[in-house]
Each structure stands twice: as structure tokens, then as C-alpha cells.
Amino acid sequence: MKLLWRLAFSNSVPGYRLMRRFAFITITIAIAAIHIAWSIAQAFEKNIVSKLTAFVGQIQITAYLPEATDSIVPIPYPLQAVEQLKNQLESRLQVTPYVQIAGLARGAEGNEPIVVKGVHQWKKNLFPLVKGRYPDFHSNKKEILISELLARRLKVDTGAKLITYFLSRQGKIKARAFKITGIYQTYLYELDEQMTFAPLRVVQRLLRLDSSEVEGYELLFPYAMDSKALQEKARIVNRMIPHDLQARSAFERFPHLFEWLHMQKQNTHFIFLLMWIVVFMNLASTLLIFILERSNHFGLLKALGATRKQLQRWILGIGSLLYVQGWFWGSLLAIVLLFIQQQWKLIRLNPEMYFIDSVPVSWDFMAFLVIDILFYFALMVALVLPTWFVRRLSAADLLRRQ
């Protein structure tokens, strides 16, 4: 190890010293870029999916309708088949019944179309409040939670009365006044501009439904799932519920959002590949210069009985030492930059394009470690190729090069 350290970090050869410093800087930047890209990509997905599932759950169970329709087909509440999913799938599964109705909200300077969703409990911590408090979802109070976008358009605030109009199932227009108790913001504008939340019983009465009738159920698992896992889980649920019900995943309802997240992942994979190529080219160049500059050392070692495999392992060991040095400082640089962004949110984003107002950060040190190990082994396998150069030369050839 001492021999490898002296050979790797000796400053006696100016050309090698310059290449070693350049390789160190390159590896440091590449490792930092990989960690930062992975952290941001994971945080984007977690942030957006958690907001989306706050609106619609991961899986939604409704009455099976062969054709699309705006009418509501109520299903029983509680439903034994749905409640049994907790025993069959996941004991911590959160099952939330809901009813929703489309309407019109009257503001100071105009009207806005809205959807009032009635729930009896709130999926807390999935997105925070900007102002006020959550409605008392277990009560019969006419309280409502609206988005910041909708509040701005209607020019209303917490504590104000929101006049709304609905078309009943009998075709009559009903007017209702809700008290605005809270304002939320998710930056998912497609949903923010219409979705509001009120107590379940209040919306049931608007639709003249019994307390034992709901429009559907939302399933929320205690863990995150990607689009493939969501679709597979929805297929499993469909096989477990009665044939007059259907289960649809969030991916089926909002495929464009998941496609956008998939594109972000592809960008991350491209960054990984690009950084790997950059690090490989720099390490390979550094090792080749090192071999050429220290050919007399290798020739002497070969003359003293060192085998070709031993020389090759020594060169890979030198490459590993150079990589570990850059990995340490690159990881430290990434942690510092990510911490600064998490605390002070220096890099801002356009919410209309990215569904979030600043670059998010996710901490998953186990994922970082796995990525580093895979990156290292892939690099070492690739660096076997330039080390074959020293295996092909004899001790006499190496000694002549001094």
C-alpha cells in the first residue's frame, strides 16, 4: 500500500502531476454532479407524487361504468370488500371514502368553476397549508379548503364566505355559502384551479345521498410506488373487489405527469453516463501517462520477479486511490451544496413549468452509497483495458523507455 501511495502521489514527474490534479478535479466534480442529480430527481418525484396522491390517492375505486359519464353512481359505505383490502394487502393501508360535485364559485370580480370534494378525513402532511386551518371534516359544518390560485382569482381570504352554485341530481340549481377555513398550494395548476375540499356529509347532502353512500374510495399505501408498481397494484385490487367496481391508479388518471417524471429520470441517467465517460477518459489518460512516465519502475519490478497480473493490480490500485480521493471531496461538496439549497432555497424554479417553486432536495445516503459502489466497479472494469498495455511489454522494453 505504501508503494502504491508513493507511486500514485509522487510529484517528481511534472507531466503526471498535472494530469493527476486534473483527474482529481474531474472526479470531484463528476461525483458531486451525480449525487446532486440523483438527489434532485428523487426529490422531484417524491414531491409531485405526494401532492398528486393527496388529491386522488394512489388507487381510486369507483363503480364500474362501461362508458364515460358525468353522473355519479353511488356505492355502499362502508363496503366490506374494500375494508378487507387492509387484511389482504397492507395493514397500514389508508382507505378514504369521498364524494365530489362540480359547481361554480362566485367571486368579487367573476365566477370560477370548482369541484368540491367531500372527505371525512385528511391525508395530513401530503401538502401543507399556506394559511388558516383544515376544515372539520368529521362535522356537518359548511367549511371549505381552497387553493391559493383560486383564492387569488376570486379575491377571497380565510374567514370569508364563498358563495357556490351546484346542479343537483334532479336538475335544480342549489346555492350554498361555505366558510373558507384554509388555503393550500401545490403548484399542480391543473388541480389547484378547481379542487376544493369540504366535509363528506355536507357534499353527500348536496347530492341527496345517504350517509351510507359514497362516490368511491381512495387507497393510500404507506410507501411510495412508481408508475409500474402502481399499475400492478391496481390490477391486484381489481381482482379482489366485486365486478361492479373498478380500480384505477393515479398513473391512469394523470399519465402526463408520470411521463414528465420519467423524462426527468432519463435526464439523470444521461448525466450518470456522461460523468462516467468523463471520469473514465481522465483516469485512463492519467494512468497511461503514469505508465509511460514510470516505465523504468515497472521494468525494474518485472526484472525483480513481479508478474504481469501483479503490475496490472498495482496500476488498478493506483487508479482506485485517485478515484477515492476525488470521491471523498466530491461527496463532501455535494452534501454541502445540497444542504445550502435545502436550507436557503437559493435556486428558484418557475412553478408553472416544474410544479414546484425551488429545487427540492432528497437525502438517501444508502442510495448514494449504492450508486458510488456501482460507479466504482464499472470504472474499474473499464480501466482494465488501458492496464493491458503494461502486460504486453517485457522488462527490457520497459527499462529502455527511461
How many folded domains does the chain comprise? 2
**pLDDT attached to residue 70:** 64
Cell of 376: 466504482
Query: Does the residue 230 lie in any domain?
Result: no
Query: Does the residue 69 lie in any domain?
Result: yes
Indicate if 290 and 394 belong to the same structural domain: yes
Task: Work out the average pLDDT over 218-224.
Answer: 90
Query: Does the residue 252 lie in any domain?
Result: no
Counting residues of the chain whose pLDDT is more than 90, the rounded percentage is 43
Residues in the chain: 402
**pLDDT attached to residue 368:** 87
Cell of 281: 477518459
Query: Does the residue 244 lie in any domain?
Result: no
Is residue 390 a contact partner of residue 301, using CB atoms and an 8 Å limit?
Answer: no
Indicate if 175 and 90 belong to the same structural domain: yes
Indicate if 211 and 66 belong to the same structural domain: yes
Domain termination residue (choose one: 192, 220, 248): 220
**pLDDT attached to residue 171:** 75
**pLDDT attached to residue 102:** 93
Tell me the C-alpha distance between 80 and 268, whole Å: 44
pLDDT, tens digit (0-9, with 9 covering 90-100), for 269-281: 888 889 888 888 8
CA 142, 147, 148: angle at the middle one, nearest 5?
A: 125
Confidence of residue 177 (pLDDT cuts 50, 70, 90): very high
Q: Which one, of 299, 325, 317, 313, lies nearest residue 20 by Cα?
A: 325
**pLDDT attached to residue 225:** 86
Indicate if 212 and 64 belong to the same structural domain: yes
Radius of gyration of the chain (CA): 31
Domain termination residue (choose one: 174, 194, 220): 220
Residues 6+ apart with CB under 8 A from 313: none
Task: Work out the average pLDDT over 86-99.
Answer: 90
pLDDT, tens digit (0-9, with 9 covering 90-100), for 350-401: 998 888 999 999 998 888 888 888 888 888 877 777 777 666 655 555 545 5
Cβ-based burial of 239 (10 A; exposed 0-12, middle 13-18, buried ≥19):
exposed
Indicate if 144 and 213 belong to the same structural domain: yes
**pLDDT attached to residue 265:** 83
Query: Does the residue 187 lie in any domain?
Result: yes
Separation in Å, CA 41 to CA 47, 48, 79, 194, 262: 10, 11, 39, 28, 10
CA 297, 302, 308: angle at the middle one, nearest 5?
A: 110
Is residue 109 a contact partner of residue 116, using CB atoms and an 8 Å limit?
Answer: no
Q: Which one, of 295, 282, 268, 288, lies nearest residue 362 by Cα?
A: 268
Is residue 146 a contact partner of residue 131, using CB atoms and an 8 Å limit?
Answer: no
Indicate if 184 and 151 belong to the same structural domain: yes
Is residue 98 a contact partner of residue 216, using CB atoms and an 8 Å limit?
Answer: yes
Would strands 173-184 and 143-147 be described as parallel, antiparallel, or unpaired?
Answer: parallel
Indicate if 121 and 45 belong to the same structural domain: no
Task: Work out the average pLDDT over 156-178.
Answer: 89
Domain termination residue (choose one: 220, 250, 275): 220
Is residue 186 a contact partner of residue 192, using CB atoms and an 8 Å limit?
Answer: yes
Give me the chain's average pLDDT, please: 85
Confidence of residue 99 (pLDDT cuts 50, 70, 90): very high
pLDDT, tens digit (0-9, with 9 covering 90-100), for 188-214: 998 999 999 999 999 999 998 999 999
More confident residue, 43 or 386: 43
With the C-alpha atoms ordered 217, 222, 228, 232, is the resulting torsion angle positive or negative? negative
More confident residue, 127 or 88: 88
Indicate if 88 and 186 belong to the same structural domain: yes
**pLDDT attached to residue 236:** 94
Indicate if 10 and 81 belong to the same structural domain: no
> What residues does 173 pair with on adjacent strands?
167
Is residue 347 a contact partner of residue 43, using CB atoms and an 8 Å limit?
Answer: no
**pLDDT attached to residue 287:** 78
**pLDDT attached to residue 216:** 95
**pLDDT attached to residue 284:** 82
Indicate if 116 and 195 belong to the same structural domain: yes
Cβ-based burial of 213 (10 A; exposed 0-12, middle 13-18, buried ≥19):
middle
Query: Does the residue 247 lie in any domain?
Result: no
Query: Does the residue 339 lie in any domain?
Result: yes
Confidence of residue 341 (pLDDT cuts 50, 70, 90): very high
Tell me the C-alpha distance between 127 and 115, whole Å: 18
Indicate if 190 and 269 belong to the same structural domain: no
Indicate if 29 and 76 belong to the same structural domain: no
Q: How many helices (H) and strands (E) does the chain have?
A: 15, 12
Query: Does the residue 334 lie in any domain?
Result: yes
Note down the domain range covering 114.
Answer: 59-220
